[in-house]
Structure 1
Amino acid sequence: MTKVEPFDAVIHTQQIYRKLLDCMARPGKVNSIEPYLVQEDHENLFSKPLLSLAYTLVDREVSFHVISDLKEKAEQYIYWQTFSRAAELHEAHYVFIGKQLSDSEIQSVMNEVKAGTLEDPHLSATILIQVNTLTDSPGDGMKIKLTGPGIQGTREVYADGMPSAWIAERKKINSEFPLGVDMILTTSSGEIMAIPRTTLIEKEEI
């Protein structure tokens, strides 16, 4: 039996952060953070990948918002671990989506999140969404074709379990560049992929 190393809040979050930086620099690239995930079983509270990403990204200097069935408990737990403060959706730097949302719920979220300002476009939200699968090979789910900085030509990725409303609403909110939101997708097994606000989604198919 393979021995699972205990989660190290310093070493493992550094490894996750490096993977995230690589994803942000190469939009659509699928990396795995599976070796660095927290080992506590909080599936009913928050998935291990989202919890691990929260440990990595939030601290005293930023705020976060959780959308899940156990929102208050999840936010309290993240606060205990990071000392970051939970905030209302329109104020939060990071938004963690811990459950499937309807199209109308997605529209409501995207109408409220921070998109930055012309003076400070970087003061926008990063939305983290868990999907079923992510792959850069033809597979199930939505086909997303990406272009823009960090992509040579185009890159195609496939996301199963991601409602197309996320893409449609992202297009609206990112239409006035440099305003917009960044997105990070993850799976329960620890695959991650980034779609920065500078990335264009040329087309998508179900």
Structure 2
Amino acid sequence: MSTGHRLVLDEVRLVLAGSTLLELDAEIGPGEVFTVMGPSGSGKSTLLAYLAGFLAPAFQASGRVLLDDSDITRLPAERRGIGLLFQDPLLFPHLSVAGNLRFGMPRAMPDKAARVETALAQVGLAGFGPRDPATLSGGQKARVALMRLLLSAPRAVLLDEPFSKLDRQLRHDMRRLVFDRLREAGLPSLLVTHDREDAEDAGGRVIELGQ
């Protein structure tokens, strides 16, 4: 278990054209997956964009985002220490599987090649390093995207409906893998979804927008 990071949303309020889109006050502890549910247009994606540091100028935001007691509200996206997992794995087509995993690793991290091999073995993809991402199945791509995220050493994670494009059978296995890894790493995580099964498998607190 890592030292245990904390993500705090301190009286966050997002406004569009004078109307309040959402208000949220929450502390997400180490290894906790906090789920935000709601229909399209309820502000889920806007919340993620705000936390990640790329909120569109049309929106106004107030409140603060704290990570390990540091105020990251005004920091640029690349300095926030937040990792993202999207609906699409977004693997780089010009890099091998190993190249994708190395991409986000901190420059000073030692033994990168060994870490990549270990990470692949942990998700049942031992020996896949030289492969072209285009040759992988949807589930394999999702596992590579997860390990790339973890190897980038984030201090918190945002999950943008990362299971929605997987077939039903894969979804449950992938959820269990992702949530177990995030818990082991002690990473506070915020999941946005409209799928109640995502929320149930995450096992943490759930808030519903647009109620």
> What TM-score results when the alignment is normalised by the length of structure 2?
0.37
Which structure would you say has the larger Rg?
2
Q: Of the two structures, which has the highest relative contact order with CA contacts closer than 8 Å and spacing of 6 or more? A: 2
